[in-house]
């Protein structure tokens, strides 16, 4: 029996660039809870942004944030991964010299960005806590994640940075115009395992949904896994099934419990 469900957000629960969840999802989460099934939101997004997104059920679910760098349950941090600063500074310097690329530094309490464009996108569209600074390299707090926003040459830039830094750090796509740098120990799979250990749940009792490279480890770990029909190339082969709608799968699950 399924006891835990983890789902990606952008491109999975949030399709076609939507920035609000289908209200049906909140009802589903309540019904899952009544059946003893716990829900985890798993995203590259910030904890504060995710709580706003799940407002009606924000205290009833757990969170895998920053692509697995931070795991939070009932306000308690279960897992935290930080990045090696010298490597981060080299990546930031490379981003500064790459056309169309905008850097975002994720710290535990807020995001830091340099460009006005990215500030407005993160604050107004994604409802994130974010601070604009002249140079993110000057931020002294530990870095959980670096993200690059490129809405012009995303694929080319992702390939460029992968070739340059993949021997030192994981470089994964996390959306149509995003790619992230995360420590090898920080992915949604290791994060999901943290929750399996915490709740004493087996892999076979877990279901996961995703659509991007940063979902692969989570899909591989879950006993029942679904890649979205719109998933980027190569993701579906890491899941057991494909689906066009998470809510449909969960509604069907509830009917058969």
pLDDT band at 183 (very low <50, low <70, confident <90, very high): confident
Could you tell me which residues come within 8 angstroms of residue 163 by beta carbon, excluding any fewer than 6 positions away? none
- pLDDT given for residue 173 in this prediction: 82
Sheet holding 111-113, edge to edge: 130-132, 111-113, 102-106, 145-149, 178-182, 170-175
- pLDDT given for residue 240 in this prediction: 98
- pLDDT given for residue 88 in this prediction: 96
- pLDDT given for residue 257 in this prediction: 86
**What is the SS3 assignment for 111?**
strand
- pLDDT given for residue 133 in this prediction: 98
User: What CATH number is attached to the domain comprising 197?
Assistant: 3.40.50.1000
The mean predicted confidence, pLDDT, of the chain is 95
Percent of the chain surpassing pLDDT 90: 88
The residue range of the domain holding 116 is 85-182
Which tops the pLDDT comparison, 155 or 60? 60
CA distances from 37 to 72, 198, 200, 205, 255 (A): 17, 14, 13, 10, 14
Q: What is the DSSP string of 139-152?
A: --SPPSEEEEE-SS
- pLDDT given for residue 30 in this prediction: 98
Residues 21 and 38 in one domain: yes
74: number of Cβ within 10 Å = 9
Residues 32 and 76 in one domain: yes
Fill in the DSSP letter of residue 122: I
* pTM to 2 decimal places: 0.90
Assess whether pLDDT exceeds 90 at residue 22.
yes
User: What CATH number is attached to the domain comprising 133?
Assistant: 3.30.1240.10
Sheet holding 206-210, edge to edge: 76-80, 70-73, 62-65, 38-42, 4-7, 206-210, 224-228, 241-243
């Amino acid at each position: 029996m399924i006891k835990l469900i983890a789902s990606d957000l952008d491109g999975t629960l949030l399709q076609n660039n939507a920035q609000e969840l289908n209200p049906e999802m909140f009802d589903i989460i309540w019904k899952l809870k009544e059946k003893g099934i716990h829900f985890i939101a798993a995203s590259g997004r910030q904890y504060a942004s995710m709580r706003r997104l799940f407002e009606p059920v924000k205290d009833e679910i757990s969170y895998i944030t920053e692509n697995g760098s931070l795991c939070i349950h009932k306000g308690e941090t279960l897992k935290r991964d930080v990045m090696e600063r010298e490597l981060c500074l080299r990546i930031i310097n490379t981003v500064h010299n790459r056309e169309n690329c905008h850097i975002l530094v994720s710290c535990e309490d807020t995001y830091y960005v340099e460009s006005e464009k990215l500030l407005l996108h993160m604050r107004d569209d994604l409802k994130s806590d974010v601070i604009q600074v002249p140079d993110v390299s000057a931020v002294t707090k530990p870095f959980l994640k670096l993200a690059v926003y490129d809405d012009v040459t995303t694929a080319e830039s992702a390939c460029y940075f992968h070739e340059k830094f993949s021997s030192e750090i994981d470089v994964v796509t996390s959306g149509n115009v995003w790619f992230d740098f995360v420590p090898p120990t920080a992915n949604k799979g290791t994060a999901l395992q943290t929750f399996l250990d915490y709740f004493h749940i087996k892999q076979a009792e877990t279901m996961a949904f995703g659509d991007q490279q940063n979902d692969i480890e989570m899909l591989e770990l879950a006993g029942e896994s679904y890649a979205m029909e719109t998933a980027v190339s190569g993701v579906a082969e890491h899941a057991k099934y494909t689906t066009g709608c998470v809510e449909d799968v969960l509604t069907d699950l509830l009917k058969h419990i």
